[in-house]
Each structure stands twice: as structure tokens, then as C-alpha cells.
Structure 1
Amino acid sequence: MTTGFALASPSRYIQGKEALASLGEHLSRLGSSPLLVADDTVWGIVDETVTESLRQEGLPVTREAFSSFATSEAVDALVETISSEGHDVVVGIGGGSSIDAAKAAGHLAGIRWVSVPTAASSDAPTSALSVIYTAAGEFLEYRFFPKNPDLVLIDTRLVADAPERFLVAGIGDALATWVEARATARGQGTTMAGGRPTRAGTALAHLSWEILWENALQALDAVRANTVTPALEAVTEANTLLSGLGFESGGLAAAHAIHNGLTAAPQTHGLSHGQKVNIGTLTQLVMEGADPEEIEDFIEFTTRVGLPTTLTEIGLTPQDTTELRAVAEASAAPGETIHNMPFPVTPDLVFDALVLLEGLSRRVRDDRGLPEPVQYTAPH
């Protein structure tokens, strides 16, 4: 077991307006037979640009449709395709499922892998791990790899044109990074990079937090107007690169463990990763006895961003004790990142904090003139 400090990062990160047009140029340095993994919706958006970019570099255009969670079965099917067709680099294009499946398949097949997110909706694209789910969408396991992606490329033109809820989700995911990293640094936990958090990893987590508090609301304005602005570029970097480096090399703690626990409640299956993580972050702040002003400011800010801060908004109530007990038990399971907290964590502690959220958030929202919580409805 590694006992020193560790920092992990992708080999190259490319971000900017119209960056997708350069994908072929970057892929040509990595291989000669790429496999592109994207669902039909994403492919309809990127097909023309990606095809032209690859053809300019003399690369074949082979796309594998992907329309499920990143399950073990889906990953194994991709490995079979890679092996039977002789691909030497796999490119996950779109959301977290396609990218996680491509990373896991690339590792198993022994080839290079590339992340091309089409929205700034999570920090997963830069990491050396995949989250594997069951076919029903319940968290199953983390899979860790000996290296990070060879390339992460994100086009902020696509980010600006993506639905607003994707950027909101990315902000929710990224806001957890500093809260979890500082807890890990105070304790004796290890990071996804395989050691104690580096000062660099912790500092990048904090930088992500600062950028989001300064730019998130303006970045959402930009997405509503389908425009690329400095605020949107800043938040895209915070959501994707800085949060990615910060969570992997700074440390995960309670927020993401509670996200994983929430997948045990069927009511939450329509929620984005970032929405569930935001509930986890707020629960962590309550569990650790954070400064009341910090908790209240977090509730106000994330409510204004459009993230849930109550059980009502994720389809639960304080009276759903069976579901909340199941969430708490899963969150505090042996080996979960919640045990990076600088104090012992039990399911009872998680359960009590979850039950508290409803009244706490409603009080703060009322005190600060914020809207009443409404149950989330998944978009069609």
C-alpha cells in the first residue's frame, strides 16, 4: 500500500470554443484505428465535426452506439469489439456513461483511451477510474486504472449549447471537491491517486471552489444564451479539469459516498450525479459540524444555481426511514470514501444528518427569500 503522497492527471487536456474540430489531429498521435463510443443523441450533434476532423488526418470513422449505464456487461462488449476489429485507441464521447465505459474497456483491452465530454456535467473525464453500475442504475463499484486518459478534449461551444441542467450538475459535482479534499487532508485517508493528498491536489480543489463561487451564476447565464463567455470557460475548467484533479489527488470523503448510497433509493434514479452529490455535500457539512454561516451560504448558493438542498427535491421525505436507513448503510459501507472523514462515521450519523436536511434547508430558504422546494421531475 502506498503511504506517500500521490498526484494523478491526464496526459493532455484541451479546452476551448470549437476544440472538437482538432480531435483528429490529437488522435493521430495516439493511434491509427480509433473506436468512437457515443449514444445516438450525442452522435447526432458531433457526427459532422468529428467525421471531418478524422478524415482530414486519414483516420477511419468507426462509431459504436452506446445507450446504457456503464455496466460490466457493456464494458465487456466494448472490449470484444475493440479486440475483434483491431482498434488501438477508444474515444468516449458524450456523458459519463460512455466515457466511463470507454475508459474501462480501453484498460481491459490494453489500448489508449480518450475522453471527449460534450457537457461540463462532471469531473469524471480526467480520472483514472470508472464508476460501474448495475443495469438498474445502482452503484456497483469503482474500477481503478494504472493511468489517466491519454487525452481529455472539451469543446466549450458544445457546453454552451447543452441543456442548462448539465452545467448545473457539473457545478454540484465540483462544489464537493474542496469540501471533501479539506476533510481528507485533516484526516488520515488516502486518495484515488493511491496515496495521501498532495498540496497541489488540495490547492486545485480549493481553486475549483473559488472559481465556481465567482462565476457559476454568470456561466449559467451564458448557457441560457448559448454563448461562450470567460465565465463559462472558467466554470468548464473548474468542473472538468480542476475538480477532476482535485477529487482524484485531493481525496473523496462523505459527499460522494452519500451519492453512492442514494442510488439505493429508487426515487433518486432520475437525478443527475451532481444533484445527488450536492445532497451529499450538504449532508457532509452537517455531519462535520461546519460553521453555520458556511452551511447556510451553501444552501443559498446551490439553491440559486438550481441544485437540490432538501429531501423533497430528490423524491424523499424525513418520514421515509426505510429508504434513508438503506442510504445511510450503503454510504457508510466498509471501504467507502466516507471513512476518509477525520472522525469515525456510522450509519446512524449519516441517517440523522439526512433527516435534518429538510427542516434546515427550508428554514434557510425561507429566511433568505428563496423558493419553496419542489420535487424534481426527470426531463423527457
Structure 2
Amino acid sequence: MKKIIFSPSTYIQGRQEIKNLEKYVKQLGKNSAYIVIDEFIYNNYKDQIINSFIENNTKYNLAIFNGECCIEEIEKHRQNLQDYNIIIGIGGGKALDFAKAISYYEDYPVIIVPTVASTDAPCSRLSAIYTQKGEFLQYITLKNSPDIVLVDVDIIMKAPVRFLIAGIGDAISTYYETNACYKSNSKTITGGNVTKHILMLSKLCRDIILQDGYNAILSLKDGIYSQALDDVIEANIYLSGVGFENGGLSVAHALHNGLTILKDSYKSLHGEKVAFATIVQLILEGRPLDEIKELILFYKKIGLPTNLEELGINNISDEEIRKVAKVSCDLKYTIRNHFLTITEEDIFLAIKSLNKLIF
């Protein structure tokens, strides 16, 4: 049995860390940075980002990300890299994947600066590539994990609270999917098996969220920093990121992929769909009703969806649910990693039963 763990070389989380960006470039032995940045972050944080570069006479270039992580855009930016020796990605998921993809093709080190805590993607060594129209094309498996993941808590706090809640929905699946992969002895994205260390890390991720998630959301709504908020940001980005990549994905993310065939599902964020799908996974596993109830009541308290209607999927027919179940069971997705053999009918019945649960 082979066990492999992927993780960023360095993870840094703190307040106003964006001001130290140039220092971290120098720590990696580089002296000129090509910075890919979301337009919103450019408009609001440009001065904080470039001041340290200007003060230390370090060469930099700010390139605004156009919104799509596609091959054509990657190639365009690669033509501008001759005078730079490190890539920095600042923004949401696609901007970060874009920076990681450029670093992959150019074999450059990369610093990742997430500006929302809505997914666990910043720490991963994957980039999702789309067409120019925004249709998913492929995943690129990078040669290495990011050299540095830099999380500025103050920037995260400026994002809408819905993003933090969606991040909680994505992160809470980590333990349940890792547990399923551990029981089935499945291979993870790393090519190895789940370690006990990762199983415990993913459990810690869930425990932090259940304990501090509500208080973290209250803090964010009030614009007040708190230890609970800091811990939940760490859980959403780092614990879940390292957890999913080394622990594996299972039913929750397979069902998420199935739900994306419904146009109404576009109203919901990735983590919101994963949150719903996690409860379905618990039902499929026959977990105690008290455990399922605990999760549903937590969702209701913080604003995560507990049924299809709350996902924005209304008046869905049984035929449509069966189509979702069929796509979810496609073995190219992660349903294969579960320790149970789960059929389309199993998923159909679990979704139907969840929609009838009332607590």
C-alpha cells in the first residue's frame, strides 16, 4: 500500500498579509513577479499589493484576469512572461486556477492568494480549464502544489457572507467523503491511499465547522474579526483543501456533478450543492437519524440548503431526479470511491426521502 500526501509548501494566514506579498516573493528566491488579479481586487487593493514591490524596487506586472480560465488566455499571458520569474494569482477560484495553469506550462513557482473562503481549491495541485464560452474542458494535474498559499483574513472578510457559508458546505463534506474512501481503500488524487493523519485532519475540519461555523458567520455579518472566523477560514481553505486532495471524493461530489445538469442548479454555488449532496450521502450510508438531524439543523441555522427547493430547484419531476442520479453514478465521477455499491435507484430514493424529512 502506497500513501502519498500533497500540500502547499507553505500556508500563511493572517491579517493584512497582502502587504507582505513582496517579502514572500523574495523568500522564494525570486525578484520579478507576474501578478494575475481579479478586476474587483485590482480596483480595491491595488495600492496594498504594489506598495511593497515599489518600496523594495522589485519588478512586477499586474495583469487583470478576464474571467475565463481557457487555453487561449493562458497562451496570451505566457507571451508576456519573459521578464518575470514567479506567478502570483489573486482572486476567486478561476483566477487562481489560471495562475496555477500558467505556472504549470512555464514551470514557474506560484503564490496563490484567495480572496474568498468559498472553496477548498487554493491548496490543490489541480487547475480546471474551460472553453472561451465557459464550458468545462479538462483538469490539469500540476507538477507541484502551490509554493505558497497566502490568506489575508481582512480581504476574506470583505467578501459576501454567502461565500463563507458555501465554503462551509464544501468543507463539511471532507470528513464524510474521506471516511468513505478510507473504508473502501480507494486511491486519492495523489495516487496513494488515505492516511490516518488525513482522516483525523478531515474530522478536525468538520468539528471546527460544527463548533464555530455559526459564530464565524455572525462575526462576518457584523464585520468583526474573531477567532471563530479565523478558524473557519482555515477549515474552509486549508483543512478541507488538503483533506479532499489526500482523502478523496465520493458521493457528495459525484451528486454535485449530477445536479449540474439541471439549469436551476446554476442559481446555487458549488458548496451549496455539495452541502445538500452530503446529507444524501449520509442517508445512503444508513447513518443514525440523530446524526443526520444534527447536520440538517446546523444547515438551517447558518443558511445552507436542506432540500431541492432551497437549492432553487423547484417542481422537479421524478424523471429529472433519475437523470441526476444516472449522471451521478457515472464511474468517471467519484461515486466509485464509496465503500458501498450505490445504484441510480439508491440515489433517487435518498433524494426523495431527504425532501420529505422535516425537523
Alignment of 1:172-321 (within 5 A): 172-317=169-314, 319-321=316-318
Which structure 1 segments of 5+ residues have no match? Answer: 365-380
Provide the rounded CA distance (Å) in 2 between the counterparts of 1:40 and 1:98: 10
One-letter identity of the residue aligned with 1:16:
G
SS across alignment from 1:6 = coil
Query: Any stretches of 5+ residues in structure 2 without a counterpart?
Result: none
Task: Give the structure 2 partner of residue 19 of structure 1.
Answer: 17
Q: 1:298-354: CA deviations, max 9, x gaps?
A: 111012111111100122246333443332222221231121100112333223222
2:55 is aligned with what amino acid? Q
Deviation of 1:84 (Å): 3.6
Q: Among all aligned residue pairs of Structure 1 and Structure 2, give the percentage whose two residues are the same amino acid.
A: 35
Alignment of 1:33-112 (within 5 A): 33-70=32-69, 72-73=70-71, 76-86=72-82, 87-112=84-109
2: CA distance between counterparts of 1:10 and 1:172? 22
Q: CA deviation at 1:136?
A: 6.0
- Give 1:111 deviation, angstroms: 1.2
The one-letter amino acid paired with 2:114 is P
Tell me if structure 2 keeps the 8 A contact 1:36–1:90: yes
Q: 1:108 and 1:323 mapped to 2: Cα distance? A: 40
In the alignment, is the contact (CA less than 8 A) between 1:138 and 1:263 conserved in 2? no
* SS at 2:224 equivalent: coil
Could you tell me whether the CA contact under 8 Å between 1:103 and 1:149 is conserved in 2? yes
Q: Which amino acid aligns with 1:33?
A: S
Give, in whole Å, the separation in 2 of the partners of 1:79 and 1:200: 39
Amino acid at match of 1:20: I
Q: Distance in 2 between matches of 1:165 and 1:41?
A: 17
Matched-pair contact (CA < 8 Å) for 1:180–1:251 = yes
Q: How do 1:321-360 and structure 2 match up within 5 A?
A: 321-360=318-357
The aligned counterpart of 1:368 is: none
Cα distance 1:326–1:52, how it changes in 2: closer, same or farther (>3 A)? farther
Residues 348 and 137 (structure 1 numbering): CA distance in 2 closer, same or farther, change over 3 Å? farther
Match of 1:166 in 2: 163
Q: CA deviation at 1:48?
A: 1.3
How far is the alpha carbon of 1:289 from its aligned partner?
1.3
Change (3 A) 1:325 1:201: same
Deviation digits for residues 246-273 of structure 1 (CA, Å, limit 9, x no counterpart): 1111121111122222222211123211
Post-superposition offset of 1:137: 5.3
1:335/1:17 CA distance change after superposition, 3 Å = same
Distance in 1 (CA, whole Å) between partners of 2:105 and 2:354 is 41
1:158 partner amino acid: I
Q: Distance in 2 between matches of 1:302 and 1:224?
A: 17
Give the TM-score of the pair, scaled to structure 1: 0.88
Q: Using the alignment, how far apart are the partners of 1:137 and 1:325 within structure 2? A: 26
Superposition CA RMSD, Å: 1.9
Q: Quick one: structure 1 residues 200 and 129, their matched pair in 2 at CA, closer, same or farther if it must change by over 3 Å? A: same
Q: Secondary structure at the match of 2:111?
A: strand
* 1:224 shift after superposition: 1.0
Q: Partner residue of 1:377?
A: none
Counterpart-to-counterpart distance in 1, 2:130 and 2:319 = 22
Per-residue CA deviations over 1:85-112 (Å, capped at 9, x if unaligned) read: 3232222211111111211221122211
- Contact between 1:24 and 1:59, CA under 8 Å: does it hold in 2? yes
SS at match of 2:90: strand
- Aligned twin of 2:6: 8
Give the partner amino acid of 1:77.
Answer: E
Secondary structure, aligned partner of 1:161: coil
Q: Which residue of 2 aligns with 1:374?
A: none
Q: How many residues align?
A: 357
CA contact (8 A) 1:37 1:102 kept: yes
Preserved contact between residue 311 and residue 318 of structure 1 (Cα < 8 Å): no
1:135 CA drift (Å): 5.5
The normalised TM-score by structure 2 is 0.93
Contact 1:79/1:106 (8 A) holds in 2: no
Q: Does the 8 A contact of 1:10 with 1:149 survive in 2?
A: yes
AA matched with 1:7? I
CA drift at 1:219: 0.7
- What is the one-letter code of the residue matched to 2:47? E
Call closer, same or farther: CA 1:58–1:320 in 2, change over 3 Å: farther
**2:185 and 2:194 in contact (8 A); partners too:** no
Report the residue type matching 2:332 in the other structure. G
How far apart are 1:53 and its partner, in Å? 2.3
